[in-house]
Amino acid sequence: MADTKKIAVIAGDGIGPEVVAEAIKVMKKTEELYGLSFEFEHGLFGGIAIDEKGTPLPQETLDMCKAADAVLLGAVGGPKWDNNPKELRPETGLLGIRKALGLFSNIRPAKIFDCLKDASTLKPEVLEGTDLIVVRELTGGIYFGDKFRREGANGEEAVDTCVYNVHEVERIVRQAFEIARTRRKKLASVDKANVLETSRLWREVVNRIAPEYPDVELEHVLVDNCAMQLLRRPASFDVIVTENMFGDILSDEAAMLTGSIGMLSSASLGEGAFGLYEPVHGSAPDIAGQGIANPIATILSVALMYRLTFGYHEAAQSIEDAVASVLDAGHRTADIATDRSKAVGTQQMGDLIVAAMK
């Protein structure tokens, strides 16, 4: 029997609680099947925390997350809080928790499920075998640099500053090399080193670290070329590592390759094994409470947690295989159904996946 792992569960708003409930069912099934052991603690976060505690990120929730081995997050936000002042917006809680937990990377797998290939706008034969991960730096770059207005020689101007230091690049590049090692051992580092100084620093660091990972095949790709190559040869990528803004753009492009945002998992990582796991989709307030949300992205986030935080690769594989087999059997939630009248609900999808696990 494995050590008991503490999971902080912050289900959040909208469909968050519904999809998280199914993910927990799946985790419990892996306790049974693989002798794993989890202790779940639940905390308020996002809009619901604003309503009940007057802040999107209550101190007790943060303390609970800090004491946990991993965090499972549902979704946050909704129209109810959209016009709140900044410190009372659910998204502010998200930024706050990432910062407080020292999470500096966002991990987004884009994997094609065979039976959902038709959902993509790309040709099935191009997508064949696509299984990539985008590792995006999350705390630096132009999104966080100084930004201001000033009077210039030609009138009003706006300025954004993009800054990266060696340490910031080094820690995420190392993380990406480590992840590549657990996969197909290929790393594509994306920059714009022919133009940008931050990219030249980025590439220097990558080239300095690369010899420590002789088993990983490294390629440097310019960001504009990468936007092309994702369309031309998606299956050739394994792990893509890049800075904050490039990662924002490329991870969304990669997500669209799959054709089904409702299926995509993600992780935010810091130093060490700790991570926060959540579906890429949002809180979908329009369908909240109806029992029709697709829980697969959250369930796949659990598989990602098992791989990246706990090294439970066998149990992760079991979850991923179960999802694939349920889809192969033709079961669909409404968001991915071609015939919505035959769609299964959130709980039914969770049950089907649990039943398919071996």
Q: Which two tokens stand for residue 40?
A: 């779940």
Active site residue 248: yes
In terms of C-beta density within 10 A (0-12 exposed, 13-18 middle, 19 or more buried), how is residue 151 classed? exposed
Q: How far apart are CA 70 and CA 25, in angstroms?
A: 17
Query: Exposed, middle or buried: residue 330 (CB in 10 Å: 0-12, 13-18, 19+)?
Result: exposed
Q: For residue 335, indicate whether it is catalytic.
A: no
Q: How far is CA 124 from CA 116, 120, 257, 337, 339, in A?
A: 10, 8, 10, 18, 21
Contacting residue, 1, 54, 85, 158, with its own copies by CB under 8 A: 158
> Site for its own copies (CB under 8 A): which residue of 99, 167, 208, 340?
167
82 is in an annotated binding site: yes
Q: Which two tokens stand for residue 14?
A: 């909208």
CB of residue 229 vs its own copies: minimum separation in angstroms? 8
**Taking CB under 8 A as the criterion, which residues in 257-296 touch its own copies?**
257
Q: Which residue from 44, 76, 142, 302 is in contact with its own copies, where contact means CB under 8 A?
A: 142
- Residue 129 C-beta: closest distance to its own copies, Å: 14
**Is residue 95 involved in binding its own copies (CB under 8 A)?**
no
Out of its own copies, Mg ion, none, which partner does residue 119 contact, by CB within 5 to 8 A per kind? Answer: none
CA dist., res. 295 & res. 348, Å (int): 10
Q: Which of 266, 245, 269, 244 is nearest to 255 (CA)?
A: 266
Using CB under 8 A as the binding criterion, the count of chain residues that bind its own copies stands at 51
Q: Which does 155 bind (CB under 5 to 8 A by kind): Mg ion, its own copies, none?
A: its own copies
The active-site residue out of 6, 25, 34, 143 is 143
Q: Does 358 bind its own copies (CB under 8 A)?
A: no
Under the rule (CB under 5 A), what is the footprint of Mg ion? 224, 248, 252
**Catalytic hit among 192, 213, 312, 335:** 192
Closest separation between CB of residue 271 and its own copies, Å? 14
**CA-closest candidate to residue 298, choices 111, 8, 72:** 72
Q: Is 294 annotated as a binding residue?
A: yes
Phi, psi of 9 (to 5 degrees): -105, 115
For the annotated catalytic residues, the residue numbers are: 143, 192, 224, 248, 252
